[in-house]
Amino acid sequence: MDKKGAVISCVSGVAALGILTGCFLLNASPYVTVTEARKSDSDGLHVAGQVEPNSIVSDFSHHEVRFKLRDAEGQVLPIVYTGAPVSSLGTATKVVAIGAMKNGSLQSDQLLVKCPSKYESKPAVQ
Amino acid sequence: MNDFPELHLPIATPAQLFIGTLGRIFIWGGVSLFALTLIQSLFFPKSRKLGSVSFVLGCVCIFASFLTLGSLFLNNQYEFAYVYEHSQASDAAQYKVAAIWAGQEGSFLLWATTSAIFGMLTIWATGIYRRWFAAVYSLFLGSICGILAYESPFNIQLIHGHAYIPPTGQGLNASLQNYWVVIHPPTIFLGFGSLTVLFAYAVSALVLRKYQDWTKQVRPWALVSLSLVGVGLCMGGMWAYETLGWGGFWKWDPVENVSFVPWCMTVALVHGLIVQGVRGKWFWSNLMLAGLPFLFFTYGTFLTRAGFLDGVSVHSFATMEHTAHMVLLTLCIVATAGFFGLWGARWWKDSRSEPTLLAAGPIVKANQAAESSAGKLGTDREGWYRTGSLLIVLIGIASAIGMSVPLFQYMAHQQPKVVDEHLYHLVLSWFFIPVMLMMAVAPFVGWRKLSPWDIVGRVFNVLSITIGLLGVIMMVMNNPRIGIQLIPNQFIDFPFKRQVPALPWVVFLVGICLFTIVGNTWRLIEMRKAFKLSLGAFVAHVGVATAMSGLIISRGLERSQVYELQAGEISAPVANANEKGDLINGATLPFTMNLHEIDEDSIHKPGNHILVDIQGQNDHYIADPKYVLDPTSDGDEKPESVPDIHRYWTHDNYLSMGSRQKLAGDPQTISVGQTKSFRLPDFEDGVDVFYNVKYLGMQRVGQPGQSGTKLLANLEVETPNHAKLLVNPGMQIGSGPLPADIDADYFVSMERMDAATREVTLQMRFIKPVYLAYLYYKPMVILVWIGAGLMFLGGMMSALYRRKSGKPSDNKGASSEAPSKKNDPLEAVSSKQSGSKR
């Protein structure tokens, strides 16, 4: 490879990496507390917390599951979940609800559920 | 003997405990023996025999501790904490074996074992690199043994100072109990273990400043790494697909990326080694690319255990024992800084001042001469490999950056952030398209330069066939009998908040994959006799493109539908509408379901399956998803389910079960004389129905305050068919609620009663509990399986041919690199063309 080619490759590689990093950092979805979520109007909010005991209600008429999430600061946020069913919500030690705020509750179509299992499946797996 | 008779458990005998001690002895034996090998390699290079013996004995120690741990599991020795936490007596033997790697300690032991296997396989043929190869390898294995010494799987759990043997352990997570847990981790860890070989070779070559010879020796192992990590990744995706219930293969989870990034780097290395074999170039980038997979994997292992990803990933990451984590961090920093430092120092000195160090063999020189004599315009295969490798490295680095965003934010004391699946897709598809195109075209580009016009001429037939085939495929897809009904109005997000219709986009992406498949198949047929060495590569490329097209079609054209099942009732699909009433998942699926009667006792037993009749337009089958309800401490029940997958040639029907619901609608509080309307779901036609409830008053049967006295609410319920029924739910003092049936579908219970105001809170309930079910229709999943198989086959074919022809002393490896003109019709044509031009 001639020197010119090497320089062009390196420069374009570094530029691409810079753009990539910027792209990911700027567009990554923030983890927010309940207080921050209430103030935010952006999409893709991640709110982590624990499911309030006995707060899970499946509303079949509207194909949604409603529950309350208590974050680390102790604030409680109602979640309206409309995604694919999550079977282990009841025993999850930690839940991350992803969505946007609407009428005081988080409209979420994606949940990350962490279960009390010590297994790290893909070993190094779910 | 038993001081705590309330436990009534046997206490482990010294002989039983000794097995664990033996395991620890093996681990410490490994630490010392690898330290000895390291010292010998560094300071006493002449006592090579000693180093060999200690290296082999060290590896044997690792194997022995692995077997020791296995024996603890198979003999149900639950006095050991690790065994207790990861298996139970009733587990089948294969799951007891799989439990070895079910936890963090065992994962490290598996990593050490697979690395040791590859160490034993490779070290004998390392030739001039032997000394430094052994040093690097034993430093790594010694460190892993060090981690295992502090984070030991052989710890005994003492209760009141005694090693009691519990009759059983906590067991492997039920949803993980399938064949993948037995075969996926060993496969992918064999891949990770083989990365150590590439790294050790690169370091040795840098130390010795012998930048050419190592490539021939390392090439078969690079191909083995590529195949094993590749097939391991595929298996991980299939495992997720078969058990997790969300119907996908890949989610860009950090743990997935930890395996994906090294794979990308190894892809680039394999292509770089070809260029070095032919042209004697790219030694600096190849040395870097041989080191990176190992370094990225080590970094990923550290990252996923450092706690930064806690809550950012669905995977559970047990935090490591502190000392063990520090050993891993040190290993990570030493390996990375050492490698980059060494590479940089050598590059600074040798890349300019001493060209003789880089001198290539005679064949490479001949190739270089041919290269320089060819026309200067246009591109050659080297250029295509360079761009392709650069792109694949960028995909890898992008994934690594993506998974490290939580770490960056943490270090900058910023709010935690995470890169979502759709952002990866948004960014990486722009790398994916050119990579696929290059995979299609590169096999047609020779080592001599070709003008763009010549390249178009060469791939013209392939392009025509691709377009023709794509047309045929679209026609078949449109045929309602075999194909799928395409969903109108589906859109896919594009950068800058734009959206494009899903179908044309999927067709475009599949077309590109098809181009690669046709191109490589063409070359495969053309070269089948002449040039066996490259056949594996064509097969592997066809495999990658096939698997990718399967992933794209099955995800892009997937349809899903919610069903609500009640035993004995036929459930039609429930329209999946958003607030505006538009169907968000397209047309409803043409299936009806009938849930078989469910036995309340067996649904709580492990391993329970439920049966669902699924009736389509042309087919009927019985699905049997695994479904168990575990009672939880707060009186709730937790469903544990494994989806049912019914496979056809053209599609998979994927049934995922959700929670069980007993409550119908919300509870309402009502006072005497008031009428309230309860809105309840009706599953037969999907339209809600209304029950109007009038609360007439409270009635007491028996003496006030006495046990056995009943308090009943007198209700007049108007059903949707305007029948009026008198219903009396209530409660009995001392024994609890007294629900009352309304009709065949619902009953009502009194949840609360206010003695002062006589207000009651009523809850409607289903007589037959409702089970939420999701049915996914996923077209062409079969391509993912075929593709994965071809990738592995191709990789292993290449490795085997390379092993035969790439022995250190053998020069054929290099000569076979650039096919001779008479073997390859394309090379023959191009030489004619360049001849005529001249």
* Pairing mode, strands A45-51 and A29-32: parallel
User: What's the mean per-residue pLDDT of chain B?
Assistant: 82
Contact at CB, A112 and B390, closer than 8 angstroms:
no
> Which of chain B's residues have a Cβ under 8 Å away from the Cβ of A124?
107, 111, 189, 192, 255, 258-259, 300-301, 304
**Which pair of structure tokens corresponds to residue B319?**
């935090």
pLDDT at position B577: 44
Among B56-70, B363-377, B379-393, B802-816, the range scoring the smallest mean pLDDT is B802-816
Among B96-110, B260-274, B386-400, B420-434, the range scoring the smallest mean pLDDT is B420-434
* Pairing mode, strands B760-779 and A76-81: unpaired
- Measured CA to CA, the distance from residue B371 to residue B32 in angstroms comes to 52
Among A57-61, B8-12, B31-35, the range scoring the smallest mean pLDDT is A57-61
Q: How confident is the model at residue B434 (pLDDT cuts 50, 70, 90)?
A: very high
Q: How confident is the model at residue B355 (pLDDT cuts 50, 70, 90)?
A: low
**Which pair of structure tokens corresponds to residue B691?**
């029950």
Contact at CB, B774 and A86, closer than 8 angstroms:
no
Task: Report pLDDT digits (tens) over B388-424.
Answer: 998 999 899 999 998 888 888 878 877 778 888 878 8
Q: How far B259 CA sits from the closest chain A CA (Å)? A: 8
Among A101-110, B213-222, B805-814, the range scoring the smallest mean pLDDT is B805-814
Task: Report pLDDT digits (tens) over A71-84.
Answer: 878 888 888 888 76
pLDDT at position B308: 63
> Which of chain B's residues have a Cβ under 8 Å away from the Cβ of A87?
245, 638-641, 657-659
ipTM value of the model? 0.71
Residue from B418, B571, B685 to probe the interface with A (highest A Cβ count within 10 Å): B418
What number of C-beta contacts closer than 8 Å exist between A and B? 200
Contact at CB, A124 and B574, closer than 8 angstroms:
no
Contact at CB, B184 and A122, closer than 8 angstroms:
yes
Contact at CB, A63 and B562, closer than 8 angstroms:
yes
**Which pair of structure tokens corresponds to residue B327?**
């050993």
Task: Report pLDDT digits (tens) over B54-71.
Answer: 999 999 999 999 999 999
Residue B635 or residue B778, greater confidence: B778
> Which of chain A's residues have a Cβ under 8 Å away from the Cβ of B634?
53-54
Output phi, psi for B395, to 5 deg: -60, -45
Other C-beta atoms within 10 Å of B301: how many?
A: 23
Q: How far B91 CA sits from the closest chain A CA (Å)? A: 15
- Measured CA to CA, the distance from residue B422 to residue B411 in angstroms comes to 25
Yes or no: say if A98 and A45 are a contact pair by the CB < 8 Å rule. Answer: yes
Contact at CB, A119 and B173, closer than 8 angstroms:
yes
Q: How confident is the model at residue B376 (pLDDT cuts 50, 70, 90)?
A: low
- Measured CA to CA, the distance from residue B818 to residue B407 in angstroms comes to 45
pLDDT at position B699: 86
For residue A44, what is the nearest residue in chain B, using CA coordinates? B420
Q: How confident is the model at residue B27 (pLDDT cuts 50, 70, 90)?
A: very high
Query: Which residues numbered 8-27 in A keep a CB inside 8 Å of some CB on B?
Result: 9, 12-13, 16-17, 20-21, 23-25, 27
Average pLDDT of the segment spanning B565-588: 58
pLDDT at position B571: 77
Instruction: Fill in the amino acid letter for B804.
Output: K
Residue with tokens 């490591």: B320
Partner-chain residue, chosen from A5, A20, A118, that has the shortest CB–CB distance to B316 = A118
- Of A93, A84, A87, the closest CA to residue A48 belongs to A93
Q: Is the Cβ of A112 closer than 8 Å to some Cβ of chain B?
A: yes
Average pLDDT of the segment spanning B558-569: 82
Both ends of chain A: CA-CA distance in Å? 43
Average pLDDT of the segment spanning B33-40: 95
Asked whether the CA dihedral B456, B461, B463, B464 is positive or negative, the reply is positive
HEC profile of B81-138: HHHHHHCCCCCCHHHHHHHHHCCHHHHHHHHHHHHHHHHHHHHHHCHHHHHHHHHHHH
pLDDT at position B833: 41
Task: Report pLDDT digits (tens) over B498-557.
Answer: 777 778 888 899 999 999 999 999 999 988 877 777 888 999 999 999 999 999 888 888
Average pLDDT of the segment spanning B682-689: 66
Instruction: Fill in the amino acid letter for B165.
Output: I
Average pLDDT of the segment spanning B449-462: 85
Average pLDDT of the segment spanning B417-445: 86
- Measured CA to CA, the distance from residue B294 to residue B262 in angstroms comes to 7
Q: How far B131 CA sits from the closest chain A CA (Å)? A: 31
For residue B304, what is the nearest residue in chain A, using CA coordinates? A124
Task: Report pLDDT digits (tens) over B616-630.
Answer: 777 889 999 988 887
Cα torsion at B45, B49, B52, B58 (round to 10°)? Answer: -100
Q: How confident is the model at residue A120 (pLDDT cuts 50, 70, 90)?
A: very low
Average pLDDT of the segment spanning B303-307: 72
**H or E stretch covering B783:** helix B782-805
Q: Is the Cβ of A32 closer than 8 Å to some Cβ of chain B?
A: yes
Q: How confident is the model at residue A124 (pLDDT cuts 50, 70, 90)?
A: very low
Average pLDDT of the segment spanning B800-825: 50
Among B479-483, B532-536, B807-811, the range scoring the smallest mean pLDDT is B807-811
- Which residues lie across from B6 on neighbouring strands? none
- Measured CA to CA, the distance from residue B727 to residue B729 in angstroms comes to 6
**Sequence-ordered list of residues with C-beta below 8 angstroms from that of B7, at least 6 positions apart, any chain:** B159, B164
- Measured CA to CA, the distance from residue A78 to residue A31 in angstroms comes to 16
Q: What is the DSSP letter of B662?
A: E
> Which of chain B's residues have a Cβ under 8 Å away from the Cβ of A112?
313-314
Yes or no: say if A95 and A113 are a contact pair by the CB < 8 Å rule. Answer: yes
pLDDT at position B579: 43
Asked if residue B817 has pLDDT above 50, the reply is no
Q: How far B578 CA sits from the closest chain A CA (Å)? A: 9
> Which of chain A's residues have a Cβ under 8 Å away from the Cβ of B661?
58, 60
Q: What is the DSSP letter of B379?
A: B
Contact at CB, B316 and A44, closer than 8 angstroms:
no
- Measured CA to CA, the distance from residue B481 to residue B475 in angstroms comes to 12
Task: Report pLDDT digits (tens) over B65-105.
Answer: 999 999 999 998 988 999 998 888 888 888 889 989 888 88
Asked if residue B811 has pLDDT above 80, the reply is no
**H or E stretch covering B827:** helix B825-837
Task: Report pLDDT digits (tens) over B732-762.
Answer: 887 778 899 988 888 998 888 887 888 898 9
- Of B123, B267, B279, the closest CA to residue B814 belongs to B279
> Which of chain A's residues have a Cβ under 8 Å away from the Cβ of B176?
119, 121
pLDDT at position A101: 87
Residue A11 or residue A123, greater confidence: A11
Q: How confident is the model at residue B821 (pLDDT cuts 50, 70, 90)?
A: very low
- Measured CA to CA, the distance from residue B705 to residue B539 in angstroms comes to 82
> Which of chain B's residues have a Cβ under 8 Å away from the Cβ of A98?
420
Task: Report pLDDT digits (tens) over A29-64.
Answer: 788 888 888 888 777 788 888 888 777 776 666 667
Contact at CB, B259 and A90, closer than 8 angstroms:
no
Partner-chain residue, chosen from A12, A24, A91, that has the shortest CB–CB distance to B632 = A91
> Which of chain A's residues have a Cβ under 8 Å away from the Cβ of B560?
84
> Which of chain B's residues have a Cβ under 8 Å away from the Cβ of A25?
405, 408, 417
Q: How confident is the model at residue B818 (pLDDT cuts 50, 70, 90)?
A: very low
Asked if residue B803 has pLDDT above 50, the reply is yes
Q: How far B373 CA sits from the closest chain A CA (Å)? A: 15
Query: Which residues numbered 54-83 in A keep a CB inside 8 Å of some CB on B?
Result: 54, 56-61, 63, 65
Residue spans of beta strands (DSSP E) within B270-416: none
Task: Report pLDDT digits (tens) over B647-657.
Answer: 988 888 999 88
pLDDT at position B500: 78
HEC profile of chain A: CCHHHHHHHHHHHHHHHHHHHHHHHHHCEEEECHHHHHHCCCCCEEEEEEECCCCCEEECCCCEEEEEEECCCCCEEEEEECCCCCCCHHHCCEEEEEEEEECCEEEEEEEEEECCCCCCCCCCCC
Asked if residue B713 has pLDDT above 50, the reply is yes
Element counts in chain B: helices (H) and strands (E): 20, 21
Q: How far A106 CA sits from the closest chain B CA (Å)? A: 16
Partner-chain residue, chosen from B189, B634, B656, that has the shortest CB–CB distance to A53 = B634
Partner-chain residue, chosen from A24, A32, A124, that has the shortest CB–CB distance to B405 = A24
pLDDT at position B318: 57
Contact at CB, B772 and A126, closer than 8 angstroms:
no
Within B479-607, where are the H helices?
502-526, 535-556
- Measured CA to CA, the distance from residue B333 to residue B24 in angstroms comes to 27
Q: How far A76 CA sits from the closest chain B CA (Å)? A: 18
- Of B284, B291, B283, the closest CA to residue B266 belongs to B291
> Which of chain A's residues have a Cβ under 8 Å away from the Cβ of B640?
87-88
For residue B82, what is the nearest residue in chain A, using CA coordinates? A118
Asked if residue B348 has pLDDT above 60, the reply is yes
Full-model pTM: 0.84
> Which of chain B's residues have a Cβ under 8 Å away from the Cβ of A13?
390, 393-394
Asked whether the CA dihedral B84, B85, B86, B89 is positive or negative, the reply is positive
- Measured CA to CA, the distance from residue B464 to residue B456 in angstroms comes to 11
Q: How confident is the model at residue B7 (pLDDT cuts 50, 70, 90)?
A: low
